[in-house]
Structures are given as C-alpha cells and as structure tokens.
Amino acid sequence: MENGFRLTSVLLMVLAMTGCGQSVQSQQYDIPPAQPRPMGSLTDEISNSRQNAITRAVEAASPTVVSISVIQRVRYQDPFADPFFDFFFGGQRQRMRERQVQGAGSGFVISSDGYILTNDHVAGQGDVITVAFPNGDSYPADLVGTDAASDLALLKVNPEDPLPYLDLRSATEPIVGEWCIALGNPFGLFEASDPTVTVGVVSATGRDLAPQEGRLYRDMIQTDAAINRGNSGGPLINALGQVIGVNTAIVSQTGGSVGIGFAVPVGRVIRVVDELREKGFVDRSYYTGLTGRNVTPRAARALGLSSVSGVFVEDVVPGSPADDAGFLPYDVIVSVQGEVIANQTDFAARLYDFRPGDRLRFSVVRDGRQVQLAMQLGSSQR
C-alpha cells in the first residue's frame, strides 16, 4: 500500500513538471520574434545623421571653387650674350631671352557673370591664365586688376551660362572659436575634381604679420584649418557657407601647414574688389604732409611717454592735410583710428587701409598730454 502511494506521488510530480515545462515553452513561443528593419530606411537614417552644417556648407560652396593655372613670361639676359663670347665663338647672340614660369592656385567665383577672386601671388603676374571648374569646364581668364599690398587679384571669365557664386556681402564678422572651412582646388591635378576641404576654428582675428615681398598682412584671420599652396586663393567660409576671408598666408619653414593659417578678412576684400572692378588698381596715393621718425628711448623719456612707441613728428608741410588738422612738430602719434602705432612701419601700414579723401582720427601726445586730431587724407596726384 505504501509502495503504491509512493508510485502515485511520483507519477503526479512528473506530470506536474511536464505540464510546467509545456507551459513555459508555450509562453516562450507565444512571444513574436523581432522583425528586422528594412535596410533602405536604416541606410537613409545613418546618411541623414552624417549630414551637418559643415557638410551642407561645403556642398553649397564647392561648385564655386576653381583651379587657376598661370603662365608667366619672364625675360632674362643670356649669360653668353657677351662681346667676349662673340669674339671667340663668332656670331651675334640674342641678348634677351624668354622663359615661361608656371604656377597654380585656387580661386572662387564671386558673381554669376564670371568675376573670380584669388591671391595676387597666384595670378597677379600671369600672362596666360586658365580657370578650371569642378565640373570639368575651363575658360581663359583676363586679369582685371591686382593689389599686391592686400595679396588679392580679380579675374574675369566669359561663361555661356550664369555661374554659381559666393556672395561676399552675405557674411558677418567671424567669431573666435567658431568652425571655419578652407576650400581649394589641388593644383587642377584631377579632371572634374571636387575641391579639397580642411576644417578648423577661427583661432584669432586682427592678427598682424610682418610685411612680405611688399604685401601687408594686417588684421588677418588666424585659423588652424590647413592652408597651403593648393588652397591659397580659395575661400574661408563659416558653417553657414558665408565667406569670411580669402586663404592667403601660412607660417611654416617648409611651406606646409603647421596649424597656423591666415586669411584676408572679407571686409577688406570687399573694398579692394570694388576698386579693382572700377579702376583695375587700388588708389593708395594718399598724402599727409607729415615727416617723422621712430621714437627713441631718450626721446620717450624727454617727452614723458609711457612707452617707446609711436611716430615722432619732425616737420609739418604748411597748407598740407596735416597742417589743416592741427599737427605740430614734436607731436608723437600714438594711435590711428583707435589702433596703437608701434613705429613708422606700423604707421605706414595702417594708412594703407585708407584712400585719399578718407577722414581719420589720430591720438597724439603733446606736452605730456593726449590730444585728439582729425585729418582728411589728401592725394599725392594733385
């Protein structure tokens, strides 16, 4: 009897466990399997997530960025065109010879009718200039005008259809720390190639560099976006696709990028471009009537200056703009338009931003006190 009870208990337990197992299994199979997402929608979502302000700005600006190829004809004297060689070897040699120097750089379209902006050091001395577009089209270009001081040159092509362009007047002042994009075309090496893109931030504004080969790099935009000979002359744009400068200068012993690049600010670019389109050159024939020299430590002590800086006025031409403004000998010019003046070179470079007829504010030290003067620049072409 006891054995029969035990057998019945075991059978009941086995049946109970079997039922539980079936219940668990049925519960597991009742959960529907996860449905895979369509591959097309997943790809679209990933693609959209990769799009950002920078990629959109690049996409909008790229069609306007061009490659510029330049041929410059250079005349030089034949070293063997000398009476000594004529006497011993006979014949009359041609004394002047000509060779062709090729160069390349970048530029960008600034109007639908074919005006193109680039650097003076790229195309300013070119005799034969060819512009290649990302779509493979190329056109001969005329040099409208050039300005070595600002390192800007303006070209013109004659397209059959209106061109995409970047509006110089749409930009705002650059903000230190904002994203910026340097675009260029790599020497036109590739047919129908898209421009190259380097990205960085605006590191600083208002940077002054030492003059180089007659070029005055004043109030430049500094960026860590790579700027080199390939994208020199191309646009520096912000994340909205607006032009904030023109790529132009790098600081490097080897000529490559070391994280310090510079661009001409768009405010200066606009004024230079307007003058180049109108006259083909920038009129810097201003006249002040001042004669001065650098301040020496001895003069600074004698005049009670707080620092050895500024321009010491030695003479003022009677009837000149400086005379009309009230300048006197022994005045020390310490600022122009609110910008501190370090020396004569700095003073001349500051005036290079202005034209005859412009009215400027000067701060001078006279008898130990600061005096404010205003002078309208005259013209040396009078």
**CA dist 21 → 8, 13, 30, 143, 227 (Å):** 20, 12, 14, 89, 71
Query: Picking from 38-42, 134-138, 207-211, which range would have the lowest pLDDT averaged per residue?
Result: 38-42
Element at 85 (helix H, strand E): helix 83-89
- The tally of domains found in the chain comes to 3
Residue 45 domain-assigned? Answer: no
d(CA 315, CA 164): 53
Burial class (CB in 10 A: 0-12, 13-18, 19+), 93: middle
Boundary residue ending a domain (251, 279, 307) = 279
Boundary residue ending a domain (98, 131, 156) = 156
Using one digit for the tens of pLDDT, what is the confidence trace for 221-273?
Answer: 999 998 888 899 999 999 999 999 999 866 565 555 566 899 999 999 999 99
Residue 17 domain-assigned? Answer: no
- Whether 180 contacts 199, CB under 8 Å: yes
How many Cα atoms are found within 13 Å in the side-chain-facing hemisphere of 339? 17
| Predicted local confidence at residue 255, as pLDDT | 55
Which comes out higher in pLDDT, residue 211 or 76?
211
The two counts, helices (H) then strands (E), for the chain are 9, 20
Of residues 282, 283, 308, the one with CA closest to residue 294: 308
Catalytic residue among 121, 335, 346, 363: 121
Burial class (CB in 10 A: 0-12, 13-18, 19+), 328: middle
Residue 375 domain-assigned? Answer: yes
Active site residue 121: yes
Using one digit for the tens of pLDDT, what is the confidence trace for 71-93?
Answer: 876 665 655 555 555 555 555 55
Q: Domain range spanning residue 269?
A: 168-279
3-state secondary structure 197-237: EEEEEEEEEEECCCCECCECCCCEEEECCCCCCCCCCCEEE
What residue type is 247 in one-letter code? Answer: N
Using one digit for the tens of pLDDT, what is the confidence trace for 310-335?
Answer: 999 999 999 999 999 999 999 999 99
- Whether 73 contacts 200, CB under 8 Å: no
Active site residue 62: no
Active site residue 151: yes
Cβ partners under 8 Å of residue 225, min gap 6: 180, 181, 182, 198, 199, 200, 201, 236, 261
d(CA 141, CA 299): 54
Q: What is the CATH number of the domain that holds 137?
A: 2.40.10.10
Boundary residue ending a domain (279, 302, 333) = 279
Residue 307 DSSP class? S
Catalytic residue among 120, 147, 151, 331: 151
Catalytic residue among 232, 257, 335, 363: 232
Residue 12 domain-assigned? Answer: no
